[in-house]
Protein backbone atom coordinates (compact mmCIF):
# COMPACT_ATOMS: atom_id res chain seq x y z
CA UNK A 1 0.00 0.00 0.00
CA UNK A 2 1.37 3.40 -0.98
CA UNK A 3 1.29 6.52 1.15
CA UNK A 4 1.14 9.35 -1.36
CA UNK A 5 1.65 13.03 -0.46
CA UNK A 6 -0.41 14.26 -3.44
CA UNK A 7 -3.82 14.35 -1.76
CA UNK A 8 -2.57 16.11 1.41
CA UNK A 9 -0.81 18.74 -0.73
CA UNK A 10 -3.98 19.31 -2.76
CA UNK A 11 -6.00 19.68 0.44
CA UNK A 12 -3.51 22.24 1.79
CA UNK A 13 -3.78 24.22 -1.45
CA UNK A 14 -7.59 24.14 -1.23
CA UNK A 15 -7.41 25.21 2.42
CA UNK A 16 -5.24 28.16 1.42
CA UNK A 17 -7.69 29.12 -1.32
CA UNK A 18 -10.64 28.94 1.07
CA UNK A 19 -8.78 31.03 3.66
CA UNK A 20 -7.94 33.60 1.00
CA UNK A 21 -11.56 33.73 -0.18
CA UNK A 22 -12.81 34.26 3.37
CA UNK A 23 -10.17 36.92 4.04
CA UNK A 24 -11.12 38.80 0.85
CA UNK A 25 -14.82 38.82 1.73
CA UNK A 26 -14.26 40.29 5.20
CA UNK A 27 -14.83 44.01 4.97
CA UNK A 28 -12.47 46.78 6.08
CA UNK A 29 -11.76 46.62 9.77
CA UNK A 30 -12.81 42.97 9.96
CA UNK A 31 -16.55 42.37 9.86
CA UNK A 32 -17.48 40.68 13.11
CA UNK A 33 -19.55 38.54 13.31
CA UNK A 34 -18.79 36.58 10.18
CA UNK A 35 -21.60 35.51 7.87
CA UNK A 36 -22.70 31.89 7.62
CA UNK A 37 -20.88 31.52 4.30
CA UNK A 38 -17.66 32.92 5.77
CA UNK A 39 -17.91 30.61 8.79
CA UNK A 40 -18.48 27.64 6.49
CA UNK A 41 -15.47 28.59 4.39
CA UNK A 42 -13.29 28.99 7.46
CA UNK A 43 -14.44 25.64 8.90
CA UNK A 44 -13.90 23.89 5.57
CA UNK A 45 -10.46 25.44 5.19
CA UNK A 46 -9.48 24.42 8.71
CA UNK A 47 -10.70 20.86 8.10
CA UNK A 48 -8.73 20.59 4.86
CA UNK A 49 -5.65 22.06 6.53
CA UNK A 50 -5.78 19.52 9.37
CA UNK A 51 -6.25 16.67 6.88
CA UNK A 52 -3.34 17.92 4.77
CA UNK A 53 -0.97 18.33 7.70
CA UNK A 54 -1.90 14.91 9.07
CA UNK A 55 -1.26 13.35 5.66
CA UNK A 56 2.13 15.02 5.25
CA UNK A 57 3.15 14.01 8.78
CA UNK A 58 2.09 10.44 7.99
CA UNK A 59 4.21 10.41 4.83
CA UNK A 60 7.15 11.86 6.74
CA UNK A 61 6.96 9.43 9.66
CA UNK A 62 5.78 6.22 7.98
CA UNK A 63 7.37 6.63 4.57
CA UNK A 64 5.91 6.19 1.10
CA UNK A 65 5.55 2.39 1.33
CA UNK A 66 3.40 1.10 4.20
CA UNK A 67 4.39 -2.30 5.58
CA UNK A 68 1.86 -4.33 7.59
CA UNK A 69 3.01 -5.87 10.82
CA UNK A 70 4.01 -4.93 14.32
CA UNK A 71 6.68 -2.41 15.21
CA UNK A 72 8.00 -2.68 18.72
CA UNK A 73 8.11 0.31 21.06
CA UNK A 74 11.39 2.18 20.85
CA UNK A 75 12.34 4.32 23.81
CA UNK A 76 15.44 6.29 22.84
CA UNK A 77 17.40 8.96 24.65
CA UNK A 78 16.09 11.82 22.44
CA UNK A 79 12.52 10.57 22.89
CA UNK A 80 13.02 10.39 26.67
CA UNK A 81 14.37 13.94 26.65
CA UNK A 82 11.39 15.10 24.57
CA UNK A 83 8.97 13.48 27.03
CA UNK A 84 10.64 15.21 29.98
CA UNK A 85 10.80 18.58 28.18
CA UNK A 86 7.17 18.52 27.04
CA UNK A 87 6.06 17.39 30.51
CA UNK A 88 7.85 20.37 32.07
CA UNK A 89 6.35 22.72 29.47
CA UNK A 90 2.87 21.34 30.20
CA UNK A 91 3.38 21.79 33.95
CA UNK A 92 4.65 25.35 33.48
CA UNK A 93 1.72 26.15 31.22
CA UNK A 94 -0.70 24.77 33.81
CA UNK A 95 0.85 27.00 36.47
CA UNK A 96 0.67 29.99 34.11
CA UNK A 97 -2.95 29.28 33.26
CA UNK A 98 -3.88 28.94 36.93
CA UNK A 99 -2.15 32.22 37.74
CA UNK A 100 -3.89 33.90 34.81
CA UNK A 101 -7.31 32.76 36.00
CA UNK A 102 -6.66 34.02 39.54
CA UNK A 103 -5.12 37.29 38.30
CA UNK A 104 -8.06 37.98 35.98
CA UNK A 105 -6.28 37.94 32.63
CA UNK A 106 -8.24 38.71 29.50
CA UNK A 107 -10.04 35.89 27.72
CA UNK A 108 -7.65 35.94 24.75
CA UNK A 109 -4.57 35.41 26.93
CA UNK A 110 -6.27 32.60 28.83
CA UNK A 111 -7.33 30.99 25.55
CA UNK A 112 -3.80 31.08 24.17
CA UNK A 113 -2.46 29.52 27.35
CA UNK A 114 -5.13 26.81 27.36
CA UNK A 115 -4.53 26.12 23.66
CA UNK A 116 -0.80 25.78 24.25
CA UNK A 117 -1.56 23.32 27.03
CA UNK A 118 -3.68 21.25 24.64
CA UNK A 119 -0.83 21.18 22.11
CA UNK A 120 1.66 20.17 24.80
CA UNK A 121 -0.65 17.40 26.01
CA UNK A 122 -1.15 16.08 22.47
CA UNK A 123 2.60 16.04 21.86
CA UNK A 124 3.18 14.26 25.17
CA UNK A 125 0.64 11.57 24.27
CA UNK A 126 2.23 11.04 20.84
CA UNK A 127 5.70 10.71 22.37
CA UNK A 128 4.41 8.32 25.03
CA UNK A 129 2.73 6.15 22.40
CA UNK A 130 5.89 5.95 20.29
CA UNK A 131 8.04 5.16 23.31
CA UNK A 132 5.92 2.57 25.10
CA UNK A 133 3.13 1.19 22.89
CA UNK A 134 4.49 0.59 19.37
CA UNK A 135 2.31 0.15 16.29
CA UNK A 136 0.29 -2.59 14.73
CA UNK A 137 -1.08 -2.52 11.20
CA UNK A 138 -3.15 -5.20 9.46
CA UNK A 139 -4.40 -5.26 5.89
CA UNK A 140 -6.97 -8.05 6.20
CA UNK A 141 -9.98 -8.66 4.00
CA UNK A 142 -13.30 -7.70 5.52
CA UNK A 143 -15.45 -10.58 6.67
CA UNK A 144 -18.68 -8.79 7.45
CA UNK A 145 -20.87 -10.26 4.71
CA UNK A 146 -20.75 -7.14 2.51
CA UNK A 147 -19.86 -8.31 -1.04
CA UNK A 148 -17.34 -5.54 -1.81
Q: What is the pLDDT of residues 126-145, one digit of tens each?
A: 888 888 886 665 556 667 77
User: What's the average model confidence in pLDDT over 82-104?
Assistant: 96
Q: What is the pLDDT of residue 68?
A: 67
Q: Give the percent of the chain with pLDDT over 90.
A: 52
DSSP secondary structure letter of residue 142:
P
What sign results for the dihedral spanned by CA atoms 64, 65, 68, 73?
Answer: negative
Predicted confidence band of residue 64 (pLDDT cuts 50, 70, 90): confident
Contact 19, 38 (CB under 8 A): no
Residue 111: pLDDT over 90? yes
Q: Helix H segments across the chain?
A: 6-25, 36-62, 77-103, 107-132
Average pLDDT over residues 82-99: 96
Q: What is the pLDDT of residue 42?
A: 92
Specify the pLDDT at position 102. Answer: 96
Chain segment 25-63, per-residue pLDDT in tens: 887 766 678 888 989 999 999 999 999 999 998 888 777
Amino acid sequence: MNNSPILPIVSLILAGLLATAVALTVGPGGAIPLSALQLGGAAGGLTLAVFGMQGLISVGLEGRQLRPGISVPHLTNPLSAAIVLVSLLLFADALLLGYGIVAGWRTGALGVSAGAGCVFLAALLVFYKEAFLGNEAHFDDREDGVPW
